[in-house]
Structure 1
Amino acid sequence: MAELAAALAALSGGKAGGSSASPAPTPTPISPTTLAQPGWFIPPHLLRLPHCRASAFTAHECSREAASHPTDFERVYRYGLSLQELASKLAQQPADQLSLLHQAAEVYMEASQLQGGRHAAALYNWAVALTDIARLVRAQQPEEAYECLAAAASKYAQSLAANNNLGLVLQDLSSLRPAAERAAYLRHSLHKFRRAIRLRPDFDRACYNLGGAGVGGSWAAAQPLPACTVLYSHACSLQEELLASQEAAEAAAGGGGQRGGSSMGMGSPVMAAAAAAAAAAGSSGRGAAERAIQATFGHAAQYIALAYAMQPDKQVYGDSLAAVQRLLPLPYLRAGPLLAAHPDTAGGPEERWVACWFGLGLQGMAAVRPPAAYAAHGGLPAAPPPVAFQLADVADARLAADPSLPVGAAIWLGLGSQPRGVYLVAADQDDAEGWVDALLLLSHLVRAGRTAGVEAALSVRR
């Protein structure tokens, strides 16, 4: 738990428990005896296996070098890398693989101490080894897996160079914790993936991991998808919770009929109260939950489509897009209601804000005619005002905090044609974050001339 507290503190820019920054730990010298113990050498039987013999001999030589020069960071670090490389070739031998990964983690710990705990590459690879250990022991030893993932999160946070991997680790950690604790992990995971793609808009793996894919889920896909990442998995969890609550409500409303006048039959005050509460919630509560689930699946589909647009030749992206494309508001990548200043009053003292339905696609972002359901009940104008932005003109997009704007989550667009930019207002921060990501990544693809993948992702498939 101490490792996890340190990781979460690092994520928020502070220290666990609110303490002030402490000096870096003094490296602990490694004695030759430590590295020379038998457990730090390569098991002899691995040297005889044809499929990993070359890697085993390399690791063996690195172990001898590290044992002879235990205070030489480069030699010790190289030994850790060789152990990881050898472990990667032993997928069919999980016991040997696990042993080597534990050994690699110990070596990286020693290497990190030689650099005062500040060497980014050593911390990064240490975290990778811990994550692989967690994957191997997760089914039989979930508590050990949790501790390894918590330690990996701490190392990734300290390395300052692994937002994508840290996001994946936090996602794994959330699945090992009680439901009440998962929201915090989810928020941190989303933050790390978003930071990764905003620092590097062509980072297709982080984009895919942010939307990603889950397993099952009748809302989203007719077939399972190959990876398990944040938004899609979160939508599947929300769907499962909704189904469970519906079943509980149905059982409370009509699940009596027990013989012998049991106190928990239909005449029971407990059951009657539960049925009344379910009826009070009614279809409106279920409708809101279903819309939230559908929106989350749609957000996941957005990132999958963007990952495909970046790398259309990757089969995993193509397969995932085929499964979720019907969740996109085609021909748009993203669509929904936003507040915008009416062009006739924008920038003036009597600025008037109107709710419009916006669509974002390859041609740009514009206020468009809303779907019939929203036009009838959402108070949106059937004839939208002429508000539009070309993607090639979008230089920047970010969240904004301005008390003079309407209530909601504000988005600032930096435009080449309008240096002061323009503002839009979304209903909440999650919606605003999704618009910012879509605008930044889609405009980057357009400016880079990589529109063929976008066209394919947003084309209606027959």
Structure 2
Amino acid sequence: QALNNWGLGLQELSAIVPAREKQTIIKTAISKFRVAIQLQFDFHRAIYNLGTVLYGLAEDTMRSGRPDVSPNELYSQSAIYVAAAHALKPSYSVYRSALRLVRLMLPLPYLKVGYLTAPPANNAIAPHTDWERSQFVLNHEGLQKADASGQPPSQSMDRGRKPTRIAVEDIVSVSASADLTLPPGAGLCVDTVHGPRFLVADSWEALDSWLDALCLVYTIFARGKSDVLAGIITG
């Protein structure tokens, strides 16, 4: 709660400071909300607040026209947190209203779409040259590699499919990995009931986004709210 309040205070402060200081304060607020969530992944208020601060950052980025930051990516990240907050507390009208604003900013019918580097199927210790950077999709059922055309698969994530897939019900933990045997990049370890699965994100910032999204999807599943999330992204 203290970290969430700290983030809120910084968010309010960012509205009155000079423009040159605003970005630094906003980034600090984001870090406070993120730590609060990592300490308690069903802390829906912090999840929602992180979504709102990212939305504000996207708006500022759009107005400033900064070429180094994609406002669309920030809008999409914002929508992930708002959707997660609503899934955890669907009775909160403020979350429902915010979701109506940002839902179409999600990569529907998925919660998150992005790139990860993965080893060949069934060969986690393959040499680095055999690992492949591919598009992955995340929804209420789990994480899956997109098909060969680069488009998200249209079928449900059934267990018989060959592409790299991690079902949400199989997840035990999700963490950053400093395993020195991984290819260069930001290592991601998804420990499952079948053993650990290693992936590599393009950057540490991208890794944070994947970590949060995976943990939120699992938390929503563990709280018995996967049907709410499914309704958000497929309804």
TM-score range, shorter chain: 0.7 to 0.9
- Find the residue that maps to 2:234 and give its secondary structure: coil
Residue number in structure 2 paired with 1:458: 233
Q: Which of the pair has more CA radius of gyration?
A: 1
2:25 aligned residue (170, 185, 195): 185
TM-score normalised according to structure 1 size: 0.46
The answer to whether the 8 A contact 1:346-1:352 is kept is: no
* Offset, 1:372: 6.4
1:416 aligned residue (168, 193, 196): 193
The answer to whether the 8 A contact 1:345-1:351 is kept is: no
Residue number in structure 1 paired with 2:221: 446
- Structure 1 residues 409 and 182: CA distance shift in structure 2, 3 A: farther
Residue number in structure 1 paired with 2:163: 386
* Offset, 1:367: 0.2
Task: List alignment gaps of at least 5 residues for structure 2.
Answer: 153-160
Q: Which has the higher helix share?
A: 1
Residue number in structure 2 paired with 1:367: 145
Q: Are residue 309 (structure 1) and residue 149 (structure 2) matched?
A: no
* Offset, 1:370: 7.3
Matched residues in 2 for 1:385 and 1:392: separation? 18
Matched residues in 2 for 1:407 and 1:445: separation? 31
Matched residues in 2 for 1:326 and 1:163: separation? 29
Written as runs of structure 1 = structure 2, the 5 A alignment for 1:103-182 is: 162-182=2-22
Matched residues in 1 for 2:74 and 2:33: separation? 16
- Find the residue that maps to 1:187 and give its secondary structure: helix
Q: Deviations over 1:346-388 (max 9, x none)?
A: 12456721011111111211001378699xxxxxxxxx97200
- Structure 1 residues 404 and 326: CA distance shift in structure 2, 3 A: same
Residue number in structure 2 paired with 1:236: 59
TM-score normalised according to structure 2 size: 0.87
* Offset, 1:443: 0.7
Matched residues in 2 for 1:372 and 1:425: separation? 18
CA RMSD between the two structures: 2.4
**Higher RCO structure (Cα 8 Å, ≥6 apart):** 2
- Structure 1 residues 454 and 361: CA distance shift in structure 2, 3 A: same
Task: List alignment gaps of at least 5 residues for structure 1.
Answer: 1-160, 213-229, 246-284, 375-383
- Find the residue that maps to 1:175 and give its secondary structure: coil
Identity of aligned residues (%): 32
Written as runs of structure 1 = structure 2, the 5 A alignment for 1:235-384 is: 235-242=58-65, 289=69, 292-348=70-126, 352-369=130-147
Matched residues in 2 for 1:354 and 1:327: separation? 28
Q: Which 4+ stretches in 1 moved above 6 angstroms?
A: 370-374
* Offset, 1:298: 0.2
The answer to whether the 8 A contact 1:342-1:351 is kept is: no
Residue number in structure 2 paired with 1:117: none
Matched residues in 1 for 2:128 and 2:87: separation? 42
Q: Which has the higher strand share?
A: 2
The answer to whether the 8 A contact 2:124-2:198 is kept is: no
Q: Amino acid of the residue matched to residue 46 of structure 2?
A: A
Matched residues in 1 for 2:85 and 2:125: separation? 36
